[in-house]
Structure 1
């Protein structure tokens, strides 16, 4: 497959643009310093008035902010004083000039994409619209494991947000997209940031068939909908053309052939909540037979009406007939909700891969990718410490571990009716525990082996130590997996 290398501008134009952005300090820090925190927060709410007041003097940075962040038109002379007026960047608005694309500072980089619906109110997005930095792309970027790798692949790169992040820790970056137009934006993003990616045109993993990578990421067109009927796929950035949640199931099937030994694949996914079916069973069916370790976390669930309204609004349309057709399709397929989450797969090379599917609705510390990596590291430790070995291990309570107690008052004073372990750091897990588990965790200070602790607990509770040890194995494994207990150093 021939690589795509045609940016929206020629090399000289990109060099001129980069120089203008650097000279004006058109960066996240530069913009924040110029506008102030209140104006930046107002922009995030769609209120551009404070930013426009702060940029009334029209110096180069002010002009760039007004053009690319606030969506304003300016006189050509003012624009030329700030940045080269290139046909791919701007469009005429009478005797004035306005941005034809979105040019956004992103970390130490710039991202170029189509104008968002917020900057074109009332104008529906085109079917080949290329998204910029959004909530989904930011979520995946935060969730990706950022360890050095030789090769990385971004499936469905769009304007190149994930590829940018991969460039910070991957020796080589390959990216695919079904849209030639999206790849042109990605090529421009790469060139503007003085980076080189291997960009390939095609659907999902088709352009890299037979190749393997150390890390694969994807923010796919995961929207659950009637992709099979005529007109079902209306926007390439969200609609895969497959019915329901099939595109996410397909990504799971592709993973074994994409991953090098020890490689990891991470992607955002939606899955249908079908009447009479547990979502865990549905997604676990995708995983069966892959031979991959898997951690699937559901971050939220949306009801069909809210889900359809969200995606129609996202595309800048209020098409009532489309809304009805979509909801009727949900009804026909008994879809009661849509789960949204992250799937992480690893080619661990195990005959009995570790597979977990769970709800993780609570707020977590960012970047989340650090906690994903730590979860897999804990799984590796547990695999290296089966039952007998685990009894010989010394464990300690994790930093940030707390005990929460609920009590009711009766005639004899306060009576504890519920006890929970809670982590105030990391993933903020909370688990109910019984008194024996509390005693076990309380004794984990790194001095005694787990086997010694079990013996003491057996004596204190007048139970057989072998029976208690057998029960303690799965319990301690769960406490380690969640991060409540960790190996003593």
Structure 2
């Protein structure tokens, strides 16, 4: 797939943004903390006021980030050596009453290791009105969530299913020898090719639905922020609608995992799933998980149907005419809520894989990918036999006690929680508190439980049998760590 612009235009555009200092740090410095914070909330006015000085950097911010209309001389000074007539002819800019405005979104994006530029379509914050059917999303919350959650390790081959404008592929380029991206939207592939070229990168870009273009191929790492929005199967916007009814797109992608991954390979995707009356969400999603693969499904939030429909109509700049039909569909299918979260699968190639599905809505340490990798490491350690492990309590573990007035007087509730990592909290009883207090790595868990059973006049077999249910979550969440 070819980029939107010729190599000559891309080279001149890169020279212009580099010369102006149009980077994440440059933009934040030009805006100042208050305007930058307002911009993060979607309030463009402070940013527009902060970038009225006319410098090339201020002009680029006003033009591409704030959706401003600027004079031709000001724009020309900002995009040198690219000419305004070239920018108009290739669709980077367009005429507007009073001057010129951006026709696409071009903004800096980066992390602690460097800066990139990302090309996408303009959002409803700067261009009100319904989005086009082939709209290509830019930098958004879901993309950032997946980028933070991705396991970062050196791999030979990486696949981005539904590459969009190329945000995930930019990160993958840091630790993958070859990157392949698929998308059903030709405009998205052209945007991704432009993003790659603007950053001096090259990716294999293939047109097609989800993983269909790479049938028969395997990858060390697969990431996807797919069109996971749940509904009737009607596809009005390709960035959000898969054409599958209900939550079928997530089920389909998980079903394809085994055929996509090399031994030890990773699949990570974001998704929505239904909460249906009479069925646990863990039972629904758990039925999609592939065999012989370890898996961790983390539910981060649940919205009721009305909230969900309103959010996605607002996201696409649509009016409420579709709301009743959408909500009627939810009611007909006994939908009580819609879950959102991260699914990570690893092709561990074992007969009895560890598959954990849980609610984790608390704040966690970032990047989450570090926590994901450590979580799967602990799954592997436990698979060898939990009772034979020598465990130590994480140094950040804290015990909290809260007295609650009950029918029989004061009742003390105890929780163990970590000060870092997943920041998980677990309600515990005095026996578990004593166990964790004694976890210094000296004894195996089996021996510890045997000693506790003797001290509390309890059958050791009972404690051994309960170890997976009680101690297993403490190990998986990092409160207890195997030596």
TM-score range with shorter-chain normalisation? over 0.9
Q: Which residue of 1 aligns with 2:126?
A: 119
* 1:75 paired to 2:103: no
Distance 1:263 1:28, change over 3 A: same
Give distance in 1, aligned partners of 2:244 and 2:404.
Answer: 54
Distance 1:37 1:464, change over 3 A: same
Helix, strand or coil at the partner of 2:256 = helix
Q: C-alpha displacement at 1:480, in angstroms?
A: 1.0
1:342-377 CA distance string (max 9 Å, x none): 111111000111111111111212111111111100
Correspondent of 1:135 among 138, 141, 145: 141
Q: Which residue of 1 aligns with 2:343?
A: 343
Q: Which residue of 1 aligns with 2:192?
A: 186
Q: C-alpha displacement at 1:302, in angstroms?
A: 0.8
Helix, strand or coil at the partner of 1:235 = coil
Correspondent of 1:9 among 5, 15, 25: 5
Distance 1:176 1:438, change over 3 A: same
Give distance in 2, aligned partners of 1:409 and 1:298.
Answer: 32
Distance 1:25 1:38, change over 3 A: same
Q: Which residue of 2 aligns with 1:204?
A: 210
* 1:25 paired to 2:32: no
Correspondent of 2:401 among 405, 413, 423: 405
Distance 1:37 1:443, change over 3 A: same
Helix, strand or coil at the partner of 1:295 = strand
Q: C-alpha displacement at 1:470, in angstroms?
A: 4.1
Distance 1:61 1:481, change over 3 A: same
Q: Which residue of 1 aligns with 2:384?
A: 384
Q: Which residue of 2 aligns with 1:105?
A: 108
Give distance in 1, aligned partners of 2:473 and 2:368.
Answer: 20
* 1:440 paired to 2:435: yes
Q: C-alpha displacement at 1:478, in angstroms?
A: 2.8
Q: Which residue of 2 aligns with 1:235?
A: 237
Q: C-alpha displacement at 1:474, in angstroms?
A: 4.7
Distance 1:456 1:34, change over 3 A: same
Give distance in 1, aligned partners of 2:439 and 2:426.
Answer: 17
1:139-191 CA distance string (max 9 Å, x none): 11111111111100000011111111111111110000001111000000000
* 1:268 paired to 2:263: no
Query: Does the Cα contact within 8 Å between 1:214 and 1:262 map onto a contact in 2?
Result: yes
Query: Does the Cα contact within 8 Å between 1:405 and 1:416 map onto a contact in 2?
Result: no
Query: Does the Cα contact within 8 Å between 1:480 and 1:486 map onto a contact in 2?
Result: yes
Q: Which residue of 1 aligns with 2:366?
A: 366
Q: Which residue of 2 aligns with 1:422?
A: 417
Q: Which residue of 2 aligns with 1:326?
A: 326
Q: C-alpha displacement at 1:241, in angstroms?
A: 0.8
Q: C-alpha displacement at 1:469, in angstroms?
A: 3.7
Helix, strand or coil at the partner of 1:375 = helix
Give distance in 2, aligned partners of 1:367 and 1:465.
Answer: 40
Q: C-alpha displacement at 1:417, in angstroms?
A: 2.2
Query: Does the Cα contact within 8 Å between 1:253 and 1:290 map onto a contact in 2?
Result: no
- In structure 2, the gaps of 5 or more residues are none
Q: C-alpha displacement at 1:53, in angstroms?
A: 2.7
1:377-421 CA distance string (max 9 Å, x none): 00011112354xx1xx332111211111122579x9x95521111
* Equivalences for residues 461-476 of structure 1 within 5 A: 461-472=456-467, 474-476=469-471
Give distance in 2, aligned partners of 1:257 and 1:144.
Answer: 20
Q: C-alpha displacement at 1:50, in angstroms?
A: 2.6
Q: C-alpha displacement at 1:95, in angstroms?
A: 5.2
Query: Does the Cα contact within 8 Å between 1:213 and 1:259 map onto a contact in 2?
Result: yes
TM norm structure 2: 0.94
Give distance in 1, aligned partners of 2:453 and 2:335.
Answer: 49
Give distance in 1, aligned partners of 2:225 and 2:467.
Answer: 40
Correspondent of 1:47 among 38, 43, 56: 43
* Equivalences for residues 161-176 of structure 1 within 5 A: 161-176=167-182
Distance 1:466 1:238, change over 3 A: closer
Query: Does the Cα contact within 8 Å between 2:69 and 2:98 map onto a contact in 1?
Result: no
Give distance in 2, aligned partners of 1:335 and 1:455.
Answer: 46
Query: Does the Cα contact within 8 Å between 1:401 and 1:423 map onto a contact in 2?
Result: yes
Q: How many aligned residue pairs are there?
A: 471
Correspondent of 1:222 among 225, 228, 245: 228
Distance 1:409 1:133, change over 3 A: closer
Q: C-alpha displacement at 1:312, in angstroms?
A: 0.5
Give distance in 2, aligned partners of 1:473 and 1:213.
Answer: 33
Correspondent of 1:395 among 391, 395, 400: 391
Give distance in 1, aligned partners of 2:247 and 2:47.
Answer: 41
Helix, strand or coil at the partner of 1:363 = coil
Q: Which residue of 2 aligns with 1:482?
A: 477
Q: C-alpha displacement at 1:450, in angstroms?
A: 2.9
Q: C-alpha displacement at 1:317, in angstroms?
A: 1.3
Give distance in 1, aligned partners of 2:156 and 2:287.
Answer: 31
Helix, strand or coil at the partner of 2:18 = helix
Query: Does the Cα contact within 8 Å between 2:119 and 2:138 map onto a contact in 1?
Result: yes
